[in-house]
A and B are shown apart, each in its own frame.
Chain A
Amino acid sequence: MRERDLDEFESMFRRAIIPTIEVEKIGLDSILLLADFGELTPACGIVAGRLAERFGASVSTCFFLHLEDREERDRAQRVLDTLPGSGPGNGGEIRVGDPIVELPKLIAERRPGAIVAPEPFHLHCDPNERDLLDSLLIATPIPTLLIRNTEVDEIFTNIVAKIPGGRTDLIEQFSLAFALCEKGGRVELLHVLEQARLQELVDLLEITPEIDTEQGAAGLLSAAKSRMDHLLKGAVRVADEAAFDVVADLRVGDPFVILPEVARDCSLLILGSQAAHTEFLESRAYALMKAVPGVHVLAL
């Protein structure tokens, strides 16, 4: 009796099972649109308007002024008047103060479902503070869409979602991509498996320790790769019934090299923020965003 053959075939058939990822329904009630004096703010307004229309959400706007200045306030109001949710008669809020302090307060007050903001954010403050604000936006637990160029007509047609880790991240990101992607569009699910962070992924994927002892690091890498591959393919299977293409892309290497290469021409990059509990400037998502200049980013 060839017990080993039985083991081999059973394991092959088990590996052939690809559980379908269940897409979560994304609801969005309110959008917070952050405005500045830069050329990206009108584009932010367009995107916020489209999102509001798609999800039936309301838009509220806010303009930060570092210092109280009458002339600046009038100028800011003129900007707000051009934006959805704050057109003539709707107002829109102008806040005076340090955005680093004021933004968390604003988020706590309004509890928006998503934030739309230009990146970089043109505030009259020093460059370090601007970076801090960007980091804060990325690290906030609220999905933040950073508009980084003026071309927003096809923002939801070619999406790259960089999946940072296990099943939960994948479901979250894929559900968002699923909700955003337009008919005939394309979603690329990218996972970059890093040797240096292998143990982190192994823990996330709950890979059994037997593989570790039997085959060492190579076994762990292969198991993690295979499990991640299965997860991505599970999402692709869901998309068989969607009106857009979904591509799974599993790479091994340095995300700071791979991501710019993959996301260079995409219309929207979805990044999982892993910095919610760390110092803002250490945010990997923020650093990754900076590695792909000019591409719109949705930071989760």
Chain B
Amino acid sequence: METWFFGLLLVATLLGLAFEVLPKALLALVVAGIGLFAAVAFGVHFHHGPGGHFVPAPVALIEWPTLGVIIGSSIFVEVAARSGIFTWSAIRLLKASKGDPWRLLLLLGGLTLVFSAFLNNVTAMIIVGSLTVVACKRLEWDARPFLMVEAFLTNIGGLLTIISSLPNIILGQKAGITFVQFFVIAAPYCLITSAVTLVMARVLFGIRPANDPEAARRVMEFDEWETVKDRGFFKAAWWVTGGVVLGFALQSYLPVFSSEELGLQFVAFTGATVMLLLRPKLVDEALRKVEWSLVIFFVGLFIVIGICGHEDVGVLALLGKSVQWLIDNTGMFAGAILVWVTGILSGLTDNVPLAAMLAQMFDPATTPPDIWWAAIIGGNLGGNITPIGSAAVVVGVTLMKREGIKITFVGFMKVAAPFAVAQLILGSLYVLLLRAIL
């Protein structure tokens, strides 16, 4: 009885998210409330805290480290962005292109990868996409190919580090993958897939190298220092950002920092705190800019997924059996198939609940590494299939619409399909390779 009830609740949640019947945060709160009430009514017992102390169900079910990384990184990025380091870098690369469209695509593409690796994907797309729109207007170029490629690369760059995207944080933390392990495994795939995406863009969009003195003159009109208000803060922000990246990289190797009690969230909050100490006046503004609706969405989602994953409820155990069936019956191709399944599902609905469900279904002790990676790769790349597949793609499409570029759901998919298919094929091949070497 409980299994069917909560199974239906989970399906309703996913459908509600896919069809956007309510704002995500509100939907998550509604289903979390129903789920908690029903769970207690059905007599489901939740975890107890350390030493056997009672912990209320919502507190026990929420993945606090994940929320910590999201909130800490969000504050850090917001304050760092105010220093101008991201806009400054973006304009420097624009000028380095010397007005050559192919060079510009390569440079802004590379920047998108780096930004989406260390910022959240939406912020990366907002910064690079805005510059692209302004630069293309100045150069009298069509912004569409650039925005499309940047949106694709945002999702690929979201694979580069464990903090790059929400599925990475959820699945990577659960699988016990460290920052460095994640980067070492993900980086080759990101580089290959990015290179293939850029070459495809060159062929499909007809972007060719060109030496146009007028275009070169126009890109040189951009002054990167115009986006920097305080050079002292700008320099300090570079140091702190470097420190935070190093902190994420070395966290698992440093004494005290490597303790499970602290984790990546401690690094994120340390970076945020140091940034705020540099600019105390920004405290209120930075806190307001945290996407609290996303945080509330996570809170509700963790509660629902947590209930469904509870041993007395058994919904995720049931779904886990089907994944286990897939693994048992498809042998070495299980991971490759899972890349496509998670990719298509996350293209149609939000990839966060999918990642959260998979994280609950997979047992870190017994699940092979290629299965974790299949879920991570598919969960990130699915965003490139549809114009609503990921928040970064939504930003790209919004920028196109603001520029008067008409793009329909099907029109986007027609353009995106070759890219998404190529990326998923490469993902499948990479997972097969990982199965052989890990």
- Seen from chain A, the residues whose Cβ lies within 8 Å of a Cβ on chain B are 1-3, 5-6, 9-10, 12-20, 233, 237
Pull 17 A–B residue pairs with CB atoms less than 8 Å apart, ordered by A: A1-B395, A1-B398, A6-B126, A6-B129, A6-B395, A6-B399, A9-B87, A9-B126, A10-B134, A13-B135, A17-B134, A17-B138, A17-B221, A17-B223, A18-B221, A18-B223, A237-B221
CA distance A279 to B312 in the complex (A): 96
Please indicate the chain A residues that have their CB under 8 angstroms from the CB of B394 in the complex.
Answer: 1
| A17 and B130 contact, Cβ closer than 8 Å, known pairs A1-B394, A6-B395 | no
Once the chains bind, are B91 and A9 in contact (CB under 8 Å)?
no
Q: Is the interface of A mostly helix, strand, loop or mixed?
A: helix
User: Does B133 touch A at the CB level, under 8 Å?
Assistant: yes
Once the chains bind, are A18 and B226 in contact (CB under 8 Å)?
yes
CA distance A20 to B134 in the complex (A): 17
B92 to chain A, nearest CB (A): 11
Chain B, 367-382, CB within 8 A of any chain A CB: none
Once the chains bind, are A2 and B133 in contact (CB under 8 Å)?
no
Please indicate the chain A residues that have their CB under 8 angstroms from the CB of B91 in the complex.
Answer: 13, 16
Please indicate the chain A residues that have their CB under 8 angstroms from the CB of B87 in the complex.
Answer: 9, 12-13, 16
Please indicate the chain B residues that have their CB under 8 angstroms from the CB of A233 in the complex.
Answer: 223
**Chain B 220-253, CB within 8 Å of chain A: the 1/0 string?**
0111101100000000000000000000000000
User: Does B344 touch A at the CB level, under 8 Å?
Assistant: no
CA distance A3 to B126 in the complex (A): 9
**Chain B 122-135, CB within 8 Å of chain A: the 1/0 string?**
11001101110111
Please indicate the chain A residues that have their CB under 8 angstroms from the CB of B281 in the complex.
Answer: none
CA distance A15 to B122 in the complex (A): 22
Once the chains bind, are A6 and B398 in contact (CB under 8 Å)?
yes
Please indicate the chain B residues that have their CB under 8 angstroms from the CB of A3 in the complex.
Answer: 398
> Interface centre among B134, B138, B222, by most A CB within 10 Å?
B134
On chain B, the number of residues with a Cβ less than 8 Å from chain A's Cβ atoms is 26
Please indicate the chain A residues that have their CB under 8 angstroms from the CB of B222 in the complex.
Answer: 13, 16-18
CA distance A10 to B227 in the complex (A): 11
| A16 and B223 contact, Cβ closer than 8 Å, known pairs A1-B394, A6-B402 | yes
| A9 and B221 contact, Cβ closer than 8 Å, known pairs A1-B395, A14-B134 | no
| A13 and B227 contact, Cβ closer than 8 Å, known pairs A1-B394, A6-B395, A6-B402 | yes
Chain B, 109-131, CB within 8 A of any chain A CB: 122-123, 126-127, 129-131
Once the chains bind, are A13 and B126 in contact (CB under 8 Å)?
no
User: Does B217 touch A at the CB level, under 8 Å?
Assistant: yes
Please indicate the chain A residues that have their CB under 8 angstroms from the CB of B131 in the complex.
Answer: 9, 13
CA distance A20 to B219 in the complex (A): 11
Closest to B399 in A: A6
CA distance A10 to B127 in the complex (A): 8
Once the chains bind, are A15 and B226 in contact (CB under 8 Å)?
yes
B10 to chain A, nearest CB (A): 27
Closest to B84 in A: A12
Please indicate the chain B residues that have their CB under 8 angstroms from the CB of A16 in the complex.
Answer: 87, 91, 222-224, 226-227
B61 to chain A, nearest CB (A): 29
| A2 and B221 contact, Cβ closer than 8 Å, known pairs A13-B131, A16-B227, A17-B134 | no
The 4 lowest CB-CB distance pairs between A and B, nearest first, are: A9-B130, A16-B226, A13-B134, A10-B130
Please indicate the chain A residues that have their CB under 8 angstroms from the CB of B217 in the complex.
Answer: 20
Q: Of A1, A12, A20, A237, which one neighbours B227 at CB under 8 angstroms? A: A12
A-B residue pair count with CB separations less than 8 angstroms: 60
Please indicate the chain B residues that have their CB under 8 angstroms from the CB of A15 in the complex.
Answer: 226-227
A14 to chain B, nearest CB (A): 5
Chain B, 383-438, CB within 8 A of any chain A CB: 391, 394-395, 398-399, 402
Closest to B397 in A: A1
Closest to B225 in A: A16
Closest to A12 in B: B227
Once the chains bind, are B133 and A10 in contact (CB under 8 Å)?
yes
A64 to chain B, nearest CB (A): 50
Once the chains bind, are A9 and B127 in contact (CB under 8 Å)?
yes
A152 to chain B, nearest CB (A): 37
Given contacts A6-B126, A10-B134, 7 further A-B contacts (CB under 8 A): A1-B391, A2-B122, A2-B126, A16-B87, A17-B138, A17-B221, A233-B223
CA distance A20 to B223 in the complex (A): 11
Please indicate the chain A residues that have their CB under 8 angstroms from the CB of B130 in the complex.
Answer: 6, 9-10, 12-13
A278 to chain B, nearest CB (A): 37
Please indicate the chain A residues that have their CB under 8 angstroms from the CB of B223 in the complex.
Answer: 16-18, 233, 237
CA distance A15 to B356 in the complex (A): 42
Please indicate the chain A residues that have their CB under 8 angstroms from the CB of B395 in the complex.
Answer: 1, 6
CA distance A15 to B226 in the complex (A): 7
> Interface centre among A1, A15, A16, A20, by most B CB within 10 Å?
A16
Please indicate the chain B residues that have their CB under 8 angstroms from the CB of A17 in the complex.
Answer: 134, 138, 221-223
Closest to A3 in B: B398
CA distance A290 to B395 in the complex (A): 59
Please indicate the chain B residues that have their CB under 8 angstroms from the CB of A237 in the complex.
Answer: 221, 223
CA distance A12 to B134 in the complex (A): 10
Please indicate the chain A residues that have their CB under 8 angstroms from the CB of B122 in the complex.
Answer: 2
CA distance A128 to B119 in the complex (A): 71
B376 to chain A, nearest CB (A): 25
Closest to A226 in B: B226
CA distance A158 to B398 in the complex (A): 51
Please indicate the chain A residues that have their CB under 8 angstroms from the CB of B221 in the complex.
Answer: 17-20, 237
Please indicate the chain A residues that have their CB under 8 angstroms from the CB of B399 in the complex.
Answer: 6
A8 to chain B, nearest CB (A): 8
CA distance A278 to B276 in the complex (A): 56
Once the chains bind, are A5 and B227 in contact (CB under 8 Å)?
no
Closest to A19 in B: B221
Please indicate the chain B residues that have their CB under 8 angstroms from the CB of A13 in the complex.
Answer: 87, 91, 130-131, 134-135, 222, 227
A221 to chain B, nearest CB (A): 18
CA distance A55 to B195 in the complex (A): 56
CA distance A6 to B135 in the complex (A): 14
> Interface centre among B129, B133, B226, B227, by most A CB within 10 Å?
B226
> Interface centre among B87, B221, B394, by most A CB within 10 Å?
B221
Please indicate the chain A residues that have their CB under 8 angstroms from the CB of B127 in the complex.
Answer: 9
CA distance A99 to B398 in the complex (A): 70
Chain B, 58-111, CB within 8 A of any chain A CB: 87, 91
Closest to B138 in A: A17
Please indicate the chain B residues that have their CB under 8 angstroms from the CB of A14 in the complex.
Answer: 134
Closest to B127 in A: A9
Closest to A10 in B: B130
> Interface centre among A3, A17, A237, by most B CB within 10 Å?
A17
CA distance A237 to B223 in the complex (A): 10
CA distance A267 to B112 in the complex (A): 51
A2 to chain B, nearest CB (A): 7
A241 to chain B, nearest CB (A): 11
